Structure 1
C-alpha cells in the first residue's frame, strides 16, 4: 500500500525514525544498516517501505535499498519470523552477508543475531535456500568457487568476523588454491 516515503527526517530514535512528508509525520522502523546511513535530522530522505497491518497495529518498516526490502519480505514469509525478528536479522547482518550465509548453509552466522536460536536459523536456511540469493542477485562477498568457500570457512573458523573474511577473500586471485589462499588471506589480515 505505502511503497515509498520521501520527506524531511524529524527524529532518529533507533530503530524508529520520524519522517515528515508534506505535514504528515510517519513513524518508520528501520534496520540498523539503514539507520546508520541516514542523513542528519532536518535533511531530506527517501525510504522504500513495507506496510504491515496487524489486529492491534499498523506498522511501517523502511529500507534504504530494494535488496533490504526484498530480504525483509522473504523473511516475514517464514513461519515464526515476524517483522521484529526480520528487522533484527537485517540489523545484525547485511543482505549480502545473509545471502552468503544461506548460500553456504551457515547456521552459526545466523545464531549470532539476537533472538535467533538454532531451530529458527535452520528453518531460515531451509526455507530461504535458493530464494534469497536468486531474488537479491549475486552475493557480493560470496565465494565464487569451492576453494574460495573453503578459504572463507577457514577464516571464520579462525575467529575472523564476516567482514574481515569477505574483504580478505576479495583480495585473493580468482583461481587460488585453498592452502595458498588461506596463507595469502592471513598475511593480508595481519597487516
Structure 2
C-alpha cells in the first residue's frame, strides 16, 4: 500500500503561517497477528490492537513524514512489533498512549533514515522558470524541514504536521514544554533563513 505524497501537504500551511509571524491506511489488526493469548496493555483492560487503534491514523501520518513511502509499511510493522514487545513498560501516569506510540515511532524511524534517499536540494525541487504554486511552496518547505537537525525536525513534524500540542510534543520527546518551545523557535529561525536564501538564489537567476 502506498500513500499519496501530497495527502499531508496541506498541514504545511500552518507552519508557513507560523514562519510568517515570529492517511487512510491499514488497520492495526491487519498488521498484528491474531492470537487468543493477547493480554491487556499495562494499566488498561484493552487488547493491544484495541489500545492502539484510536491512535493509529496519527501514527501512520507521523510515519509518513519520517521515512520514504517505500519504507512506511515496514516502519509501521516494526513500530507495532516493538510496541507489542514493550507494552508492559507503558505507564499511563507518565503520558498518554498516543505520546508513547509516537515516541516508539520516532525511535524506530532512525534505522530507516540510514538507508533513505538523500534529500533533494532545494533548488532542484522545481524549474525556476515555471510558475510557483502552493504545492511547489509546500514541497520547498518540506525540503527545508528535511535539512533540520533530527531534534528540530522531530519537534516541527509533531507540532505542525501531526498537530500535537506543546505538552504532547514534550511527552514524545522526553523533555520540558519550554525546551519544545525553544526548539521550535530555533527551527523556525533556521527555516526562515533557509527559505530566504532559496528565494534570493531564485531572484538572482
TM-score (ref. length: structure 1): 0.29
Which protein is richer in strand relative to its size? Answer: 1
**Higher RCO, 1 or 2 (CA under 8 Å, sep at least 6)?**
2
Which protein is richer in helix relative to its size? Answer: 2
TM-score (ref. length: structure 2): 0.28
